[in-house]
Amino acid sequence: MTHRAAHLSQVELQERLEQLERANATLRQEAALSQHLFDSTVIGLALLDEEGRIARANRTFQALTGCGEGVFSPGDTTWTSLLPQLYHSHDRAMVEALAQQGAAPAYEVELCATSSTPARWVQVESSLLPEGPYARLVYLYDITERKRREQHVEALKQRLAPLFSTELVGIIRWDATGAILEANGAFLTITGYSQDDLRHGLNLLDITPPAHQDLCRQKMAEVWQKGQITPFEKEYIRKDGNRVSVLIGASSLDTQTQEALAFVLDITDRLRKEQAARENETKFRVLFDSDMLCSFFWEKSGRVVEANNAFLRTLGFDQEDLQRGRISWSAMTPPEYEALDQNALRQLDATGVCQPFEKEYIRKDGSRVPVLIGAAMLPDQSEKGLAFMLDISDRVRQERQARENDSKFRALYESDIIGIVFWNMEGTIVDANSAFLSMLGYTHEELVGHYNRRQITPPSYHPADEKAAQLIRTQGFFSPYEKQHYRKDGSCVHVLVGGTRLSGYQDRWVSYLININSQRTAQEELRLSEERFNLVAKATNDVIWDWNLSNDLVWWNDGIQTRFGYRPDDLEPDSSSWLNRIHPDDRSLIATSIHQIIDSRESTWYDEYRFRRADGSYAYVYDRGYVLRSPDGEAIRMVSAMLDVTELKLAQDELSTRAAELERVNRELRLSEEAKEEVLLSIQADNLRKTKELEEARNIQKAMLPQQPPQLDDLEIGFFMKTSAEVGGDYYDYRQYGDHTLFAIGDATGHGMRAGIVVATVKSYFQTLAGRLDPVLLLQSVSSGIRNLRIRGMYMGLSLMEWSKGKLMVASSGMPPILVYRAETQSVEVITLRGLFLGSDLPNQYQKANLQLLPGDVVLAISDGLIELFNPDGDILGQKQVNEEFRKVGHLSADEIIAHLKVVARAWLQGRENDDDMTMIVLKAK
């Protein structure tokens, strides 16, 4: 038993020894770890004994205190010996607090520099240790950088103290959150806040409007990134809710504490003044640019520095003249006005302004313009000023006209040409001229002052007279109307009367009377004559047409429908309704013959030709016309009667054919075989010559055409021409100058070499004058050139289209309408510009149109060869179908549009050859 117990005691002892060994190992490990932590921590640690001597210190402590190896000897150095004398009391207070309370507040101390360590700031903390070899543990925290920053900030604050005290500009110190740490009185005044508001917490973002929040955050971040920001403008919300505009600049005080300093400048007044200045500048610029008044800046030297369009337009100058310094107010002043200018300059020198005065300027073209002008010197300028000028041409003209009118009225009053009567508002005659007295058969003494309007007017005209009197009272005049007056002998005279209130008088008015007895008689005779004419026009089998040569309008009687099948709305209103329906082979000869009569002094014209019916067939007509002339011999009207002689002509042709056939048979019987051979050779030679001429004409025509269209960035272009068998006179061309491109398309009357000569002449004029003359003037020049050729019966229709920057100006005469496809509405506009063929001796007013083309819009210009295509049944293709076919394909490219119209033409011809040239130009805006 005892042996067993002893054995167990040994086992237990062994286990206990192992446990102790493990515990010792753990302690050693923990001791090693503690030692490692003690030595490696960034906190300075020192163990003190009961006497305050340093028993042990880590490397950080030694580095902070400057007690490294060779200096520090454990057990020999006291903690207080490392402290400056000033801080010994701090340490004693800490020891007492630890003894009494078990804890003590930290204190900060600046350790003196050693030979190996610079002076450093540390924060000292301490704690008591339980029983053992060490009585106290001291902790040192390196706060050198923090203290340096604090010292820097404090020094900066000292330097900024005078700036904070100034009231010239707002100064704030703020941190990374936007909290305002300090602000001077100027800032508080700008924002309306107080120091109490500041102490309760005020943040930059809180007083920033929402619209400026993002900008504010961006600028705050920029301060920390770059150290400063460029001044920028924003708004603050004042304490009273109003807003104030400010200019802010900022720079960082300390990137680690993220404190910054900002200056704040109230720019509300500046912005208000700038806004007012902008508004004044805008108002002035609106006035300057409005062209309501001529305005210009000038120099005393005479130079005009700047001027608005009204000034330039009034004096005939342009911007280039202004930019090149070609405009001088002194040079434009006539010598007789120089004294007025010198007086104005003296006023400007004395007062800065001169009173408006009247003078004249000499325009660029040498003419003069009267003006009213006033001027002022520019602020802080002694040699420059601003002038406002008013063109008083109308007023001067009106004054001159008033003087002339007064003189004319006096002459008219005394001339007895028309009756003139002065009335008062009661209708009593207060004066009358001799013409009125003679009209009514009274003397001045018998009529004036004794009769009123009602006494000398038949009762049926009293209502009209009362209405006229009412108009005199309300609007000051009445329009002329017809009435009658009693003559002294009891008869009546027809008069045309008009009236107006006398200027400067409220109770006087004057009436002007014209004796129209003879006109009324002539009107009645004219009415009866027109009735007879209309009866004859309806009763006759002839087709009567009446041509007004002054405006080119043509009237047709009902025979045009009964004989040729045309309804009134099928016919153009001008002479093209007649000329374009004449057979192409006859057209030039007939046009020539009728214009020879019109241009001469003769009055009678007659001729035979073929006229196209509505169904496309041609009738032979015999046309007889009479030219009405003015007293000076100018042709003003032509009335003509067209007789359908188709049946007679066919009968004559049949007889002629039979006679020719009989003659041919007789001739063949008489001819020998040798003679027949000679005739055949002659016919072949003649055919060969004609074929050669035809080929030469084709070659001339093709040589005058451009080989390919120009390439423009903003315009797609397509050209096409198909000549007829006889070679017509169609022509197209283009010419580029600057940023303009001028296109031409034309059609000469007739065929062959003569047409080629006309086309060559037109091309020469076009290539020479394009870009030098306005398209309308170019048409006039081409017309004159064709007339000078003196080729009988040859004329030319021509359309010109000038393209530049989305705008197309079209001038045309004698050509089909210009078609415009609008991409937005997918519709076709028809631009009709009427006019006579170029080369005509008749006066003609050429027309033009200005078009704005948007991307996708297309212009189609054609000759009449496409419109006047006939199918085998004799039906004409016509303008309406061309319009519709163009509308269908307006969205396609220029070449695709031309290709489609070619297909339409071939389908309509059904294998026939075109009788006239077909030409097209397609322009599509990009």
740 strand-pairing partners: 737
Identify which has the larger pLDDT, 678 or 888.
888
Q: Is 289 helix (H, G, I), strand (E, B) or coil?
A: helix
Residue 797 predicted with pLDDT over 80: yes
Identify which has the larger pLDDT, 888 or 252.
888
Q: What is the CATH number of domain 415-521?
A: 3.30.450.20
604-619: average pLDDT? 90
920 strand-pairing partners: 720, 862
Share of the chain above pLDDT 70, in %: 83
What's the predicted TM-score (pTM) here?
0.33
CATH class of 290-397: alpha beta
User: Using 50, 70 and 90 to split pLDDT, how confident is the model at 237?
Assistant: very high
**What's residue 294's pLDDT?**
85
Helices (DSSP H) in 184-308: which residue ranges? 185-191, 195-199, 210-226, 268-289
List pLDDT tens digits, range 439-467.
Answer: 899 998 988 888 888 999 999 999 999 99
**What's residue 22's pLDDT?**
75
Residue 844 predicted with pLDDT over 80: no
**What's residue 890's pLDDT?**
94
**What's residue 539's pLDDT?**
45
Residue 119 tokens read as 């002076």
Q: In what order do the strands lie in the sheet with 543-548?
A: 553-556, 543-548, 635-644, 618-629, 604-612
746-763: average pLDDT? 78
DSSP secondary structure, 158-196, as one string: HHHHHHHH-SSSEEEEEETT-BEEEE-HHHHHHHT--HH
Domains 290-397 and 540-650 share a fold: yes
Interatomic CA distance for residues 116 and 9, integer angstroms: 62
**What's residue 7's pLDDT?**
56
Looking at every residue in the chain, the average pLDDT score rounds to 83
Q: Which CATH number fits domain 41-143: 1.10.540.10, 3.30.200.20, 3.40.50.720, 3.30.450.20?
A: 3.30.450.20
Q: 616-623, long-range: CB within 8 Å, 24+ apart, which pairs?
A: 616/870, 616/873, 616/874, 616/875, 616/876, 617/874, 618/583, 619/563, 619/564, 619/644, 619/646, 620/644, 620/645, 620/646, 620/648, 620/649, 620/650, 621/543, 621/645, 621/646
List pLDDT tens digits, range 250-298.
Answer: 888 766 667 888 889 888 888 887 777 676 666 666 666 666 678 898 9
647-651: average pLDDT? 67
553 strand-pairing partners: 548, 574
**What's residue 670's pLDDT?**
57
Contact 587/747 with Cβ under 8 angstroms? no
CATH class of 165-272: alpha beta
Range with the poorest average pLDDT among 169-173, 579-583, 647-651, 664-668: 664-668
Identify which has the larger pLDDT, 695 or 632.
632
Share of the chain above pLDDT 90, in %: 33
User: Using 50, 70 and 90 to split pLDDT, how confident is the model at 617?
Assistant: very high
519-524: average pLDDT? 66
**What's residue 544's pLDDT?**
87
Range with the poorest average pLDDT among 301-310, 398-407, 452-461, 667-676: 667-676
CATH 3.60.110.10 assigned to domain 705-925? The reply is no
User: Using 50, 70 and 90 to split pLDDT, how confident is the model at 381?
Assistant: confident
Q: What is the CATH number of domain 540-650?
A: 3.30.450.20
Identify which has the larger pLDDT, 168 or 781.
781
Which residue, 570, 887, 897, 547, is CA-closest to 720?
897
Interatomic CA distance for residues 862 and 921, integer angstroms: 7
Q: Is 57 helix (H, G, I), strand (E, B) or coil?
A: strand
Instruction: Return all residues near 243 (Cβ < 8 A) that are at least 6 apart.
Output: 209, 235, 236, 237
Interatomic CA distance for residues 114 and 81, integer angstroms: 13
DSSP secondary structure, 693-731, as one string: HHHHHHHHHHHTS-SS---BTTEEEEEEEE--TT--EEE
Task: Parse the chain into domains and list their residue ranges.
Answer: 1-38, 41-143, 165-272, 290-397, 415-521, 540-650, 705-925
Residue 666 predicted with pLDDT over 60: no
**What's residue 888's pLDDT?**
94
List pLDDT tens digits, range 330-380.
Answer: 999 999 999 999 999 999 999 989 999 999 999 999 999 999 998 989 888
**What's residue 334's pLDDT?**
94
Residue 477 predicted with pLDDT over 70: yes
**What's residue 704's pLDDT?**
67
Range with the poorest average pLDDT among 105-109, 314-318, 502-506, 620-624: 502-506
Interatomic CA distance for residues 926 and 921, integer angstroms: 16
Which residue, 270, 235, 265, 263, is CA-closest to 247?
265
